[in-house]
Amino acid sequence: MKKYYLGIDVGSVSTNLVLLDDQGSLVYRDYLKTMGQPIKVVQEGLKILKERMGDVSIAGAGTTGSGRKLAGIMVGADVVKNEITTHAVAALDTNPAVNTILEIGGQDSKIIILRDGIVSDFAMNTVCAAGTGSFLDRQAARLQIPIEEFGDLALKSTTEVRVAGRCAVFAESDMIHKQQLGHRVEDIVYGLCQALVRNYLNNLGKGKDIKPPVMFQGGVAANRGIREAFRRELGMEIEVPTHYDVMGAIGAALIAREAVKSRGITSFKGLDVSQCRFGVRPIDCGGCANMCEIVEIIRDGVGIACWGDRCGKWSSRVGKYA
């Protein structure tokens, strides 16, 4: 029976699941909206995977994203890695020569600088919406343009319209002002693409040594207007990998494959985890002045792990649970 490796990327907007074969080729991918319910969505993703692929032999699993720790405990992940690591691993697997990774998702964005296959610098934005996909979604809705058509419309622009991009609120006000002045929609749309790119490079790219090859990852990489704005601003060609929107999950699966091959055994609990009853219980620890807020994850009525403490009093119990 063929062996496969599972990668799960749990983000604030989407949860992505991928399966790679033993050679690292992608054989399955799924994109689900997280909707603030990571436990439910991970279980739903595993259920759909089993329905579509049957009882495949999963030899290892890795998790990443903001919900990586929770997902890792749920499925019994062999590796739990941050997004910087997984995006870098996936990019290098696609193009070993890559020097710069631009990544823009729905709620955050990041830049990763690589030299000789090693991460030498990075920066993340999790605060300002003006450098993320949610900014484009909101403006597309205001302009009554399907987000899928946003990028193609931007490329029809013939006149540069500069939209303030330092802040999402100011950008929206400036966009409305430009509409009132009678500018064409396609010029305003491309102006918004340029605004996002300027914001990204000013916030994340400032002081960074951006060298080609440059790879663009994340859901926003589908937007041709943003890609063109990056190309013009940087003066470099922008490479978009085939599976640009699930690179984090791919990286997690690749790292899990190496970890399992090294150890010779997996911790993965199986696809039937989708049938378990999971929940989360908050615990206020009054053991010291830190007053840590502990999170305990419950499976079928039994606590299986804790995190959130500074001293290890609660998180060290993970081995005593399952």
301: phi > 0 → left, psi -120 to 50 → alpha, else beta; which?
left
How many CB atoms within 10 Å of residue 264? 6
Q: Look up the CATH number of the domain holding residue 66.
A: 3.30.420.40
Among 193, 189, 202, 254, smallest CA distance to 220 is for 193
Q: How far apart are CA 148 and CA 156, in angstroms?
A: 15
Residue 230 tokens read as 């990056």
Q: What is the largest CA-CA distance in the chain?
A: 67
Q: Tell me: the pLDDT tens digits for 213-264?
A: 999 999 889 889 999 999 999 999 999 999 999 999 999 999 999 999 999 9
pTM above 0.75, yes or no: yes
Among 44, 16, 36, smallest CA distance to 250 is for 16
pLDDT for the residue numbered 66: 87
- SS3 string of the chain? CCEEEEEEEECCCEEEEEEEECCCCEEEEEEEECCCCHHHHHHHHHHHHHHHHCCCEEEEEEEECCCHHHHHHHHCCCEECCHHHHHHHHHHHHCCCCCEEEEECCCCEEEEEEECCEEEEEEEECCCHHHCHHHHHHHHHHCCCCHHHHHHHHCCCCCCCCCCCCCHHHHHHHHHHHHHCCCCHHHHHHHHHHHHHHHHHHHCCCCCCCCCCEEEECHHHHCHHHHHHHHHHHCCCEECCCCHHHHHHHHHHHHHHHHHHHHCCCCCCCHHHHHCCEEEEEEECCCCCCCCEEEEEEECCEEEEEECCCCCCCHHHHHHHC
Q: Are both 106 and 235 inside the same structural domain? A: yes
Q: Are both 232 and 125 inside the same structural domain? A: yes
Q: Are both 138 and 236 inside the same structural domain? A: yes
Q: Are both 102 and 221 inside the same structural domain? A: yes
Q: Are both 194 and 60 inside the same structural domain? A: no
Among 259, 280, 246, 249, smallest CA distance to 70 is for 280
Q: Are both 112 and 221 inside the same structural domain? A: yes
Q: Are both 179 and 212 inside the same structural domain? A: yes
Q: Are both 299 and 261 inside the same structural domain? A: no
Q: Which amino acid is at 303?
A: G
For residue 213, cis peptide bond before it (omega within 30 degrees of 0): yes
How many domains in the chain?
3
Among 263, 248, 268, smallest CA distance to 60 is for 268
Residue 48 has pLDDT above 50, yes or no: yes
β-strands 14-21, 26-33 pairing: antiparallel
Q: Are both 175 and 297 inside the same structural domain? A: no
Q: Are both 118 and 198 inside the same structural domain? A: yes
Please say whether the dihedral angle defined by the alpha carbons of residues 265, 304, 296 and 317, taken in this order, is positive or negative: negative
Q: Are both 163 and 129 inside the same structural domain? A: yes
| pLDDT grade for 132, boundaries at 50, 70 and 90 | low
Residue 36 has pLDDT above 90, yes or no: no
Q: Tell me: the pLDDT tens digits for 82-122?
A: 999 999 999 999 999 999 999 988 778 899 999 999 999 99
Q: Are both 130 and 63 inside the same structural domain? A: no
Last residue of a domain, one of 192, 215, 240: 240
Mean pLDDT for the chain overall: 88
Please give the residue range of the domain that contains residue 313. Answer: 278-321
pLDDT for the residue numbered 117: 95
pLDDT for the residue numbered 166: 63
